[in-house]
Amino acid sequence: MAWNEPGGGRRDPWGRGGGSGKGPDLDAWLRRLRQRLAGLRGGGGAGGIGTIVLALMLAWLLFDSWTVVNTSQVGVVTRFGAYASTVGPGFHFVLPRPIETVRKVDMTSVRSVSDKQQMLTKDENIVQVDFNIQYQVNNAEQYLFSLQDPDATVSQAAESVVRRVVGASTMDTILSGEGAAMVVTTQRDLQKLLDSYHAGITITEVNFQNIAPPAEVKDAFDDVNKAREDKQRIENEAKAYASKILPEARGQAARIVADAQAYQASSEAHAQGEAQRFLLMLKQYQAAPQITRKWLWLQTIESVMAANTKVLDESNGRNLIYLPLKSGAGAAPATPGAVIPGAGAMLQRSPSGTAPAAGASGASPGAAASATTGGDQP
């Protein structure tokens, strides 16, 4: 609405007429407000105060008499600061504050503390240990009321346990590959210590992130580690060589044993056969001694003469020309049964190894020579 309307009296935005043209009457508005407040403080204002107090109490009860606990949490209820109960996940009614208070504790999250300290070993060496401890809450009441600062308590307890474990080990043991045993010992001892405090905490993992000597002696320890690695490498190579050689040696030993067993069986069988043959021959000898003796003599002579060169001289004192024929390179091979005529002599290679009869065709009477199988020299 315009400040001044045409044609009539002058009017202001608050609906007052007039020609004064002044602004709103603030004094009148403040006067009415004081009157209302005075009415609340007067004899008839007790009901108004009670209404306000009742409204405030209803609002207090409405907004502070319930709580919701998440699925990963538990709620610890305290009544005037003292422990009252523990509630699980869900919607719960409680007395409004400050009568009862609900403190929510996450039971599934993993908390961790880390520290780095220089520690003394059993052999009086100094090492710098960087460790990390991870834990979860297993009892919310103990976690809230047994420890003033859980993280600080876990850190100090872990430092104490790690110092004890490191102090019971030598430098070589700590820097070698025995860290897993130290982790197990540290976790077990730290859990026992926290259980004695009724901390309500479960140690889930212990990690030694770095164990190293101080910087002043790092070079010397690097040399020691390098020597240890070389020793391990040489041992591994020796084991690999042994694993390669041993199967071969075992195989050769098994083959030698098998050959010996086969030779043993063959020798035994041959000896048994010879013994049986001798017994059979003995029976024949006992039955006909003369015939058996002669047969044995002929058999022996045959075996001896078959491997030697034989020359038969039937020249009756005449000159005998002996021509040795070699079957080497440049010499014509002798044909079995072939007769090579010579000056009053005959050379013959008999296929049966026996001497030819005297007076054979092409030979002079009483002069013959024969070379049998098994030799080319006279």
Query: For the chain, how many residues are written?
Result: 378
Quote the CA–CA distance of 76 and 74 in Å, as a whole number: 7
Is 82 inside any structural domain?
Answer: yes
**Residue 339, domain member (yes or no):** yes
Is residue 341 predicted with pLDDT exceeding 50?
Answer: no
Rounded to a whole number of angstroms, the distance between the first and last alpha carbons of the chain is 164
Q: Tell me the C-alpha distance between 315 and 312, whole Å.
A: 9
Q: Which of 164, 188, 213 marks a domain boundary?
A: 213
Closest listed residue to residue 321, CA positions, set 336, 311, 331, 310: 311
Residue 309: what pLDDT? Answer: 75
Rounded mean pLDDT, 178-195: 87
- Do 76 and 118 lie in a common domain? no
Among residues 181, 213, 245, the one where a domain terminates is: 213
CATH code, 179: 3.30.479.30
Are 168 and 206 part of one and the same domain? yes
Residues 70 and 156 in one domain: no
By residue range, what is the domain housing residue 82? 65-106
User: Does residue 55 belong to any structural domain of this protein?
Assistant: no
On whether residue 42 sits in a domain, the answer given is: no
Q: Evaluate whether residue 369 is within a structural domain.
A: yes
* Same-domain check for residues 115 and 151: yes
pLDDT digits (tens, 9 = 90+) for 14-72: 455 444 444 556 677 667 766 665 555 554 445 557 667 776 777 777 777 777 888 88
Same domain, 131 and 172: yes
Q: Quick one: 130 and 100 in the same domain?
A: no
Same domain, residue pair 93 and 154: no
Q: Is residue 167 part of a domain?
A: yes
The verdict on 119 and 96 lying in the same domain is no
Same domain, 96 and 139: no
The predicted pLDDT at position 24 comes to: 56
Q: Please check whether residue 133 lies inside any domain of the structure.
A: yes
Residue 57 CA to residue 40 CA, distance in Å, equals: 19
Task: Please tell me whether residues 344 and 319 are part of one structural domain.
Answer: yes
In a domain, 262, yes or no: no
Give 345-354 pLDDT, tens digit per residue. Answer: 344 333 344 4
Full-model pTM: 0.46
* Count of the separate structural domains present in the chain: 3
| Reported confidence tier of residue 142, pLDDT bands at 50, 70, 90 | confident
Q: Which two tokens stand for residue 319?
A: 């000159």
Residue finishing a domain among 77, 106, 135: 106
